[in-house]
Structure 1
Amino acid sequence: MSVGGDEIRALADRLAVGELCDRYLLVLDEGRFDESWAAGVFTDDVELAFPPGTHHGLAGLDAFTATFMGPWARTHHHTGNYLIDLDGDQAAFTCPVIATHVHPGSPPPPAPANLFRLGGWFSGTAVRTPSGWRLNRLALRVTWTVGSGAPAIVATMTAAQRAG
């Protein structure tokens, strides 16, 4: 069986979209979210829908990210098994996520830390731009949690559940 240019492009596009998602989570874990990072990952009109809140556009995205990442001393996000549906210069994707969050004041490894964990699904869309693939919609649906969450985030999630 021979592989043609269309198949190779589709494989390259799938790899690029998956790597874009991985790059997003790596920066979260490293705490390096700023305007430059946001412009390299998201479109100008990005829409985010996470349990702690929603955000639209690049402006203020770094501050929005800090609201849900700031309460943690360290984090570690795991994703994989990306399901990516390509349609020309657009891609819809979904992937499972398991995230571990270390509460402030927890000792460094190898001592045990006070943890909050969640599992769920990331879903969204990406578009091909002149600068490469960028996320233009990203949502997180949490399906389970273990441990105590950050109080402000828990309050926001609880209020959203009551309203919705």
Structure 2
Amino acid sequence: MLDIQEISDRLEIQDLLVDYATAIDSRDFEALDRIFTDDAHIDYTAFGGIAGNLGEVKEWLARTLAMLPAFQHLIANPAIRVDGDRATGRVMCLNPLALPVEGGDPRIALLGLWYLDEYVRTPTGWRISRRSEEASWTQGFGTAATS
């Protein structure tokens, strides 16, 4: 049975996941500083992205996502395991992307994935210390996709 602290921790981590999706989808990459630890390792290579530290990933996201007219991160089924001041999570994500088409309406492509996360409690709240992606499926891509 869950105690009040674990329920609170899980809710805070779920809010962190929503904050991540909101930051990415609104292209507010500076907000990622409040979501990840300073020494976070982020690995988006499952769909042809990069792996690196937060600064490298923020630069890559700004450059790569600038090419897309729209995208969304729909998260679900957060399987969060709390162990004191650390936690792990496996979170489903459906990521529709509008791909630009010269002279026409964007083409919609889809990514199905899981985020595999490690979280740590900090003095300012829970943060993601490690994130990687596990690919499940894609639709509508001729080549590698982005996060």
Structure-2-length-normalised TM-score:
0.86
Matches within 5 A, 1:85-124: 85-104=81-100, 113-124=106-117
Deviation at 1:113, TM superposition (A): 4.0
d(CA) in 1 for partners of 2:39 and 2:145?
Answer: 28
Alignment partner, residue 83 of structure 1: 79
**Corresponding position: 1:54 with 2:51:** yes
Alignment partner, residue 70 of structure 2: 74
d(CA) in 1 for partners of 2:130 and 2:63?
Answer: 19
d(CA) in 1 for partners of 2:106 and 2:63?
Answer: 22
Equivalent position amino acid for 1:15 in 2: L
Q: How many residues align?
A: 142
How large is the Cα RMSD of the aligned pairs?
2.4
Equivalent position amino acid for 2:118 in 1: T
- Structure 1 outlier segments of 4+, above 6 Å: none
Q: 1:55–1:64: 8 Å Cα contact kept in structure 2?
A: no
Find the residue that maps to 1:71 and give its secondary structure: coil
Deviation at 1:135, TM superposition (A): 0.5
**CA deviation profile, 1:78-111 (whole Å, cap 9, x unmatched):** 111111110100010001111000123589xxxx
**Corresponding position: 1:137 with 2:145:** no
d(CA) in 2 for partners of 1:134 and 1:155?
Answer: 26
Unmatched runs of 5 consecutive residues or more in structure 2: none
* Sequence identity (%): 27
**CA deviation profile, 1:114-149 (whole Å, cap 9, x unmatched):** 111110111111100001111000111111111136
Matches within 5 A, 1:14-53: 14-34=10-30, 37-51=31-45, 52-53=49-50
d(CA) in 2 for partners of 1:103 and 1:122?
Answer: 22
d(CA) in 1 for partners of 2:65 and 2:102?
Answer: 16
Alignment partner, residue 127 of structure 1: 120
Q: 2:81–2:89: 8 Å Cα contact kept in structure 1?
A: yes
